Structure 1
Amino acid sequence: MSKYLISIVGPTAIGKTSLSIKLAQHFKTEILSADSRQFFKEMTIGTAAPSAEELNAVQHHFIHHKSIQDDYNVGAFEEDAIQTLNTLFKTHDVVVMVGGSGLYVDAITNGLDDFPKVDDSIRVQLNKDFETKGITYLQEQLETLDIQSYNSIAIDNPHRVIRALEICIGTGKPYSSFLNKNKAKRDFKTITLGLTADREIIYNRINMRVDLMIQQGLVNEAKTLYPYKALNALNTVGYKELFNYFDGNWTLDFAISEIKKNTRRFAKRQLTWFRKDQPILWFDYEIPIEKIISELNAKIKQQ
């Protein structure tokens, strides 16, 4: 029998974690997280990491296995996750993967894109530009050099913008032109499920989740991480807004409203990423689990 990776994607706050646990229990298997911020053990509330009860319900991998001070990137994750999958597929025919970080999901299902080597001085200069001129300056550069990447990457993430720009500048070609060229061969088949809802519903769920995070203690969690705010892991919605509050730049109410706004923007980018080109079985977020399982079984029989 072929081995299957069931990958669950969709915007933040749509219910991916709950669905992943139900499917893992049905298939008697385990879960890989492809959420790049849930890797970090110091970031729990602000990343909506699975609760202790959820973690106990099914064996999870890549949840809180790193520190914010560890140097961990998508290349390292791809290597670690493929090794874990190879082990799991020895005893399971199906493994579930869940996460809203499109680049990390793609790294497992398709493999990373191969980029040419560029001069390190380009990144050094771009980092200086970021420090002196701000993210907007870099975003405007990327919009000019590669509008496709500007519209698809996490444009508020300086690391991602700088990475795209260094390829554009170093090669004279758009970063996006190197994408989807030579994909890695995988020893398993992937079936991707997407959860979605009307935009108003998604945005309302996001607003309610942020309110719940505040009730659960997000402000105090962010306060403990404030001394490390320069780390890339903490350039994350939910934390960076509160750091502005701690700096005295914003009121708490305004910081919370910015978390909601930036999370809504993030959800919009997630949907753009996941709808771009890959075959996804899309389901309404309220669809009964039995219907999803039925369609999954039918899909497996077809292959």
Structure 2
Amino acid sequence: MLSNNKYLISIVGPTAIGKTSLSIKLANFFNTEIVSADSRQFFKEMSIGTAAPTEEELAAAPHHFIHHKSITEDYNVGAFEKDALIKIEELHQKHDIVIMVGGSGLYVDAVTKGLDYFPDVDPKIREQLNKTLENEGLEVLQLQLKTLDEVAYKTIAIDNPHRVIRALEICIGTKQPYSSFLNKEKNKRPFKTITVGLTADRDIIYDRINQRVDIMVENGLIEEVKSLTEYKSLNALNTVGYKEIFNYLDESCTVDFAISEIKKNSRRFAKRQLTWFKRNNETLWFDYLTPLEKVIKSIKDSM
């Protein structure tokens, strides 16, 4: 390892695989600090349903970007990219190595590679698309995107209304495909990223997700969601673990059905996460039970 080099060790993988635990062990081994790139854990009102680090875990290593925002604040991936790069530069003045952990692929890529540049478009376009979503449903917007930009239709998270609306507003506002703005030359980073991926057989991943959801419910997930009812229209709460419980509280379904939907939607999310992270051919992949020493050796060998 060259003493003048700065490294970011980025830990990725599907939900419930053990990323938080590994990040703390690596932070302790390298005597450094952790930057969270989990977009759901930014919000201080959301702890149980986002599986945010516990008090004990937060005390085990210094963490940044956990519960630093309120769900009522407007915070997006562009703002996070700027904030995270400033924080990483600050941490690199004290440490040659910084750990980043999180399963939000877009937020991880924003820090490690930079965001794609998009021109500003008329905000009225988004307002209109949101009305269409509300009145006619997501499928209408999906079909519109398929017509305007089939590449984006096939590559973005098509069941995420915010991603679909974002792609559509660029297509409509610029009269160019959203996908034409992707993967242009990005700004170079003043550090080298080493990406560590955790995975397991699909059945194990799904079993871990199911167990985690049961633990969330035992820990008071329903009460947490109930306390946020007045904010349920906010973007931050339109997410797995919260929207399903809101449906139960609205008496749209039984509690058992809501919990089964959280498990199902979490499994789908894990599948999308793996698809996203597997695009990076340089990731060092490990089974989630791999001994820490082996992971550390591979990291050192990559320096």
Cα offset for 1:150?
Answer: 3.4
1:129 match? 132
| C-alpha deviation, 1:278, in angstroms | 4.7
Equivalent position SS for 1:117: coil
* Distance of 2:151 and 2:172 partners within structure 1: 15
- TM-score normalized with structure 2 length: 0.95
Is residue 2:76 matched to residue 1:79?
no
Which one of the candidate residues 186, 198, 201 is aligned to 2:201? 198
Offset of residue 205 of structure 1:
0.8
Unaligned runs of 5+ in 2: none
2: distance between equivalents of 1:105 and 1:278? Answer: 15
2:62 is aligned, of 47, 59, 62, to 59
Q: Is 2:289 aligned against 1:286?
A: yes
> Is contact 1:237–1:262 with CA below 8 Å preserved after alignment?
yes
- 1:34-60: CA deviation from partner (whole Å, max 9, x where unpaired): 000100000000000000000000000
Pairing 1:164–2:186 present: no
For the aligned residue pairs, the C-alpha RMSD in angstroms reads 1.3
Instruction: Tell me, in whole angstroms, the C-alpha distance in 2 between the residues paired with 1:135 and 1:278.
Output: 33
Partner of 2:6: 3
The 2-side partners of 1:269 and 1:180 are apart by 19
Cα contact 1:3–1:89 (8 A) shared by 2:
yes
Q: Given the alignment, which residue of 133, 140, 145 partners 1:142?
A: 145
Cα deviation, residue 151, structure 1: 4.2
State the partner residue of 2:258: 255
Residue 167 of structure 1 deviates from its aligned partner by 1.3
| Structure 2 counterpart of 1:185, from 181, 184, 188 | 188
Q: Measure, in 2, the Cα distance between the counterparts of 1:30 and 1:148.
A: 39
CA shift, 1:118, in A, is: 2.5
Q: Report deviation, 1:102.
A: 0.6
Pairwise CA distance, 1:155: 3.2
- Counterpart amino acid of residue 253 in structure 2: W
Map 1:193-232 → 2, pairs under 5 A: 193-232=196-235
Larger deviation, residues 29-38 vs 190-199: 190-199
Gaps of 5+ in 1: none
**Alignment equivalent of 2:92, drawn from 83, 89, 111:** 89
Match of residue 108 from structure 2: 105
**Whole-Å separation in 2 of the counterparts to 1:7 and 1:235:** 26
Q: Give the distance between the partners of 1:253 and 1:157, measured in 2 at CA.
A: 24
Deviations 1:231-280 (A, max 9, x none): 00001100000001111111110001100110111111111111124521
Question: Aligned partners of 1:83 and 1:70: how far apart in 2?
Answer: 20
Shift of 1:146: 3.3
Report how far residue 177 of structure 1 moved: 2.4
Picking from 242, 247, 269, the partner of 1:244 is: 247
Identity %: 70
Of 269-278 and 259-268, more deviation after overlay is shown by 269-278
Counterparts of 1:33 and 1:12, CA distance in 2 = 14
Aligned to 2:252, the other structure's residue is in SS state coil
Which residue in the other structure is 1:30 paired with? 33
| 1:146-205 deviations in Å (ceiling 9; x for gaps) | 344334433333222210111122233332221110211111110011111111111111
